[in-house]
A and B are shown apart, each in its own frame.
Chain A
Amino acid sequence: MKRILKYLAPFKKRLTVGFIIKVTGTVAELFIPFLLTYILDNVIETEKIGSIVFYGVLMAICALVAAVGNIVANRMAAKTTMLFSTKMRKELFNKTIGLSASATDSYTIPSLESRITSDTYNVQNFIGMMQRLGVRAPILLLGGAVITMVMDSALSLVMLATMPFIFAVVYGISRKGVPLYTKVQKSVDGMVRVVREDIQGIRVIKALSKGDYENRRYDKVNAQLCREETKAGVIMGIVNPVMTMLMNLGIVAVVAVAAFRVSKGTSTPATVIAFMQYFTLVSMAMMSLSRMFVMYTKCAASANRIAEVIETPSDFKTVPDDGKGDKDALVAFENVSFSYFGKRDNLTNISFSLRAGESLGIIGATGSGKSTFIKLLIRFYDPDSGIIRINGKDIRSYTKDELCRFYGVVLQNDFIYADTIEENIRFGRDISREQIEKAAKIAQAHGFITEISEGYGYKLSAGGTNLSGGQRQRLLIARALAANAPILILDDSSSALDYKTDANLRTALKTELSGTTSITVAQRVSSVKSCDKIFVLEDGKVIGFGTHRELMENCPEYKEISDSQMGGAFLD
């Protein structure tokens, strides 16, 4: 919670000014019952209608000041809330989008999503509410206490005696409330996850007529969420009645004590009446405090979830280079091993080096570690042992930005977002239209793009569902090429291309981008056979390394793959 409140710090000035205005308005409002008492106590006895009217008008003026003050302050509060939550959400999103693969995995995307949405709205609501009512209520409370103290300190002490009880209740329940609402938000994550999966898998669900099954699956998380919310609501529901009751019992005590004091002549009935006025005011303030308190608990739970993400330590740490690398090798792996679960190595002892302009092909069975290799190279994960170097320097010695600039990447399950084709290729980089078209031409995408009437301005849907699989892949390849990065990484990114297109693509890459170092992961031998070096991976180990010709001679596994494909042949 503290971490989140820090975002309010830059708006201290605005908050202070708003606070002062709000205080002015609230004090003006407090004067109203005070004047009322004064009229009843002193003015009426003078029996001058003029002065009664005068004080009446004074009350009206106070009311006006209160209204204007409140409007201005509320508007300022709205602005502060806007600025605050813009900042908070911005920071959260920035952090979230920069989270490492393993951090994202451990939070899960649905949970991150509900933190950015549901949790930030909870906090935002509270901050807005706090400024609108949070100033008013304590001042009414404080002011009420002070004025009653002046009027009759003994009576006000009676009323104040209820306070410790109220705070005890509030404290006790708030300790229970935060974990309860944390659970609620966790259930929200679960619900968001099912909805998200359902939307993503709608075709499969429909195909298998699993609507009922999905409904049942959703019902579980929905019911779970309702249970958690009910639990929290039932506990938090105690606050308001107990607070009100304690306040009311306080006033009962006031009346009882007043009876003695009036009979002794130490107080007057008019004072008691005034007391009632302030009591109403104070108890209304207590009501709104209790409401804020419930919101606070909810907000604190959400704020903690937000802070948790923001405070996630970056696992992208830079280490100084050991200077032992070979400067002539663009990419080099030195005895690299890695395991996802620590149970079994997913990559074992990989070593090789690649000079600028050379091409590397990686082939191997599903699950042999090809994509893991790519993930280590672009530093989604750090190897358990061994060093990966670029230009002779440990990749961990580069900053994130420096490292990214080396690569143009097409990943498996790659990402197309709702925007134009041009923008999807540009991907927010500083790239000219000419470069984009050039990249699209090499990627064999220019043809189909220009066949669409909107051309490069064609709006893609999220995930690019309005393109075919092969079109998507070509667009992604264009994206990878567009920045002229020195290393091009294609992770199984031509699987949906027909043979002709794939062949054209490879030819274009060779002729147009001869200086680029490419690393190609593929299922097809034909996609890698022209590479300068080819890896054959099996269970995370290199079982063959060399050119196509060499491998055909001395790597039986490679020959087997090749024969099976040439003999059986591919066709689109």
Chain B
Amino acid sequence: MTDKKQQKKDNKGIFLRLSKYVLEQWKLFLPAVVITLLSNQLSLMGPMYSGRAIDAIEGARGVSFPLVWDNVIKMIVCYVAAAVLSYGLAVIMVRLSQRIIYKMRKQVFEKLNTLPVGYFDRNATGDIISHISYDIDTINATLSHDLIQVMTSLYTVIGSIAFMWQISRPMLLIFAITVPVSICFTRYRSKKVRPLFRARSKKYGELNGFAEEMLSGGRTIEAYGRAKVISERFNARNDEAMGAYYKAEYQAAMLFPAINLVNNISLSLVAVFGGILYMLSQNGTVLATSAFFISLGGVAQFVQYSRKFAGPINEFSNILHEFQSAFSAAERVFRVLDEEPEAPDAEDAKAYNDVKGRVEIDDVSFSYTEDKPILKNVSVKAHKGQTIAIVGPTGAGKTTVINLLMRFYDPDEGVIRMDGENAMRLKRDDLRRAFTMVLQDTWLFHGTVYDNIVYGKENASKEQVYSAAKAAKIHDFIESLPQGYDTLLSDDGVNISKGQKQLITIARAFLSDAPLLILDEATSNVDSKTEKQIQAAMTALMKDRTCFVIAHRLSTIQNAACILVIRDGRIIEQGTHDELLGKGGFYSSLYNSQYS
């Protein structure tokens, strides 16, 4: 399929998908349509009555006041009613668009939580955020304002044609020529402009991504005095994004005046022909019974309707511009919604609630990118309650083992078995729930200290939370905070050190009763004195649990049932502490290096 055809198909797809959102809200949409019809009917009737009033003013026997008053009152009723209806419509449309936007944002967010971890490794945070904020906002602007405008326009156009048809059929022929010209031109231009708007959305996303990334690094940038350089880089991206904006706007700028031109030319044609017909009607060349006959009021009405008719078409071409932005934005939103989620659980996936704690990694190989193998044929068995320690130089693939155990990624080859069952055949949520995890990269969310600790177990009692914090030796610190456990935390907060954050996440783990435990450099930022103090609690945590530990501290590792020494993705040594020291291999050289 050619690109053009594909694009056409995509456009249609986006349009259909957007329409679906609208149609789903038929309870609001239907009344909106009805009210639109009514209020437009009313505002179309306004000029009709004013035309009649003018005819009454112009009457052969002078002004016919009763007729004028009659029409004036009708006009007032029409216009007031139209205003009430159109406000009602505005309210309905705000609600309609908000419901749709609410749903879209919800869908995108919920989608994000189903995506594999790899998606977040590949895409800039700010770019992802801009889908849910900027892109959806753009759609919102179109839905809340332009959708109704289009509906109004459509109705006004049809209504105007009907009225003009009644007044003078021959003059309507003018529009039979000019309208198709407008349509063709619009279609031609849209095709040209569309990719430009797409490029614009993309550049905005990149700009947002860059801004987010750099804001996250604010303190480092300050420490190095790099603000100027970073700003220059931002400026380059800003220039690019604004260049894309300009390109799109430059081309789009033509649409509205051009359509307006066609309309104005139609109007001048209407004037010329209307004038001639009126003249001929006046001097009797055209008989009152003829279709060509027209009164001055008739000409005036026709002109008014043709302007009413032209107005929406102008407006429509103007809106088309915004539709282009909205379409590009919708395209980006839908792309997220269409993103491949984590492979769903197999249909016959088993629940994994009765966890014994036997874990077997069998001949597993894995690579993040094809050319860079990370793990090669790794095999290890952990019995219930055993601690498996993983050591090795940085970058050897230790954390990758954790990623595979948690099924953040799936192995390229080999099998991981939980209690003898292939992990791939277990329900992923159950599998993950079986683990408690403390990572080196701590994560806290914006919420109270209490909420952050209780995150691992929502139904924990206050006492449990306090005793977890006490066990993690963070209770005193929390109590010293301005609002104690109710102090608001955020991940970027400077008032809490990395070590303290780590202790909070350890407290979080203490609350959990998952039978399997992962400690990935869990105490790397905790000083050794504190670490010693929490050791008893850690030991209690590890008791009866199958543990996977990545750590520097030998105290944790020493008692491990099995120590895996990983280097360059392979297990080069395996055994207990004493066995490995006895071997005099890589482990013992690492071990001895601390004394050198």
Contact = CB atoms under 8 A, between A and B. Distances in A.
B399 to A, nearest CB: 6
Given A219-B106, A568-B553, A568-B555, A208 B124 contact: no
Contacts of B21: none
A572 B565 CA distance: 9
Interface stretch (A50-58, A173-181, A318-326, A329-337): A50-58
Given A64-B261, A199-B112, A428 B225 contact: no
B155 to A, nearest CB: 16
A211 interface: yes
Contacts of A340: 494-495
A1 to B, nearest CB: 20
Nearest to A497: B394
B478 to A, nearest CB: 11
Interface in A83-106: 85-86, 89-90, 93-94, 96-102, 104-105
Contact of A258 (B57, B113, B477, B494): B57
A25 B257 CA distance: 10
B225 A403 contact: yes
A70 B554 contact: no
A385 interface: no
Interface in B225-242: 225-227, 229-235, 238-239, 242
A104 B221 CA distance: 13
Contacts of A225: 105
A116 B218 CA distance: 14
B35 to A, nearest CB: 12
B117 A412 contact: no
A114 interface: yes
Interface stretch (B300-308, B355-363, B380-388): B300-308
Nearest to B120: A202
B596 A276 contact: no
Interface in A184-224: 188, 191-211, 213-215, 217-219, 222-223
B140 to A, nearest CB: 8
Contact of A210 (B71, B455, B590): B455
Given A40-B299, A259-B53, A277-B304, A366 B215 contact: no
Given A208-B432, A240-B86, A404-B223, A468 B399 contact: yes
- Classify the interface of chain B: helix, strand, loop or mixed: helix
Contact of A209 (B69, B274, B429, B593): B429
Given A109-B215, A192-B133, A47 B250 contact: no
Contacts of A412: 497-498, 525
A499 interface: yes
Contacts of A474: 394
Interface stretch (A3-11, A137-145, A152-160, A229-237): A229-237
Given A56-B268, A71-B257, A195-B129, A203 B117 contact: yes
Contact of A415 (B109, B221, B246, B482): B221
Contact of B223 (A273, A411, A568): A411
A226 B528 contact: no
Interface residues of B, number: 188
Contacts of A89: 238
Nearest to B127: A462
Contacts of B222: 98, 100-101, 378, 380
Contacts of B9: none
A171 interface: no
B394 A501 contact: yes
Contact of B480 (A97, A245, A344, A370): A344
B554 A568 contact: yes
A62 B462 CA distance: 78
B221 A97 contact: yes
Contacts of B97: 233
A467 B526 CA distance: 22
The listed residue with most A CB atoms (<10 A of its CB), out of B56, B230, B396, is B230
B267 interface: yes
A105 B495 CA distance: 9
Contacts of A273: 54, 296-297, 300
Interface string A48-81: 0100110111011011101111110011011101
Given A62-B264, A86-B238, A453-B371, A211 B272 contact: no
B54 A255 contact: yes
Contact of B527 (A222, A259, A415, A561): A561
Contacts of B165: none
A477 B513 CA distance: 39
A252 B445 contact: no
B84 interface: yes
The listed residue with most A CB atoms (<10 A of its CB), out of B249, B392, B437, is B249
Interface in B392-447: 392-396, 398-399, 406, 408, 429, 432-433, 435, 437, 439-441, 443, 445-446
Interface string A111-130: 01110111001001000100
Given A256-B68, A375-B494, A466-B121, A498 B393 contact: yes
A268 to B, nearest CB: 9
Contacts of B144: 233
A366 B527 contact: yes
A557 B527 CA distance: 12
B579 to A, nearest CB: 15
Given A281-B307, A503-B594, A561-B528, 14 more contacts: A63-B268, A70-B256, A105-B492, A113-B211, A197-B445, A206-B408, A248-B83, A258-B54, A259-B53, A262-B63, A411-B220, A428-B232, A495-B525, A523-B526
Lowest 4 CB-CB distances: which A-B pairs, in order? A470-B394, A404-B225, A428-B229, A415-B217
12 contacts: A56-B269, A67-B264, A194-B446, A203-B443, A213-B455, A233-B94, A256-B69, A365-B527, A366-B499, A380-B223, A417-B217, A495-B521
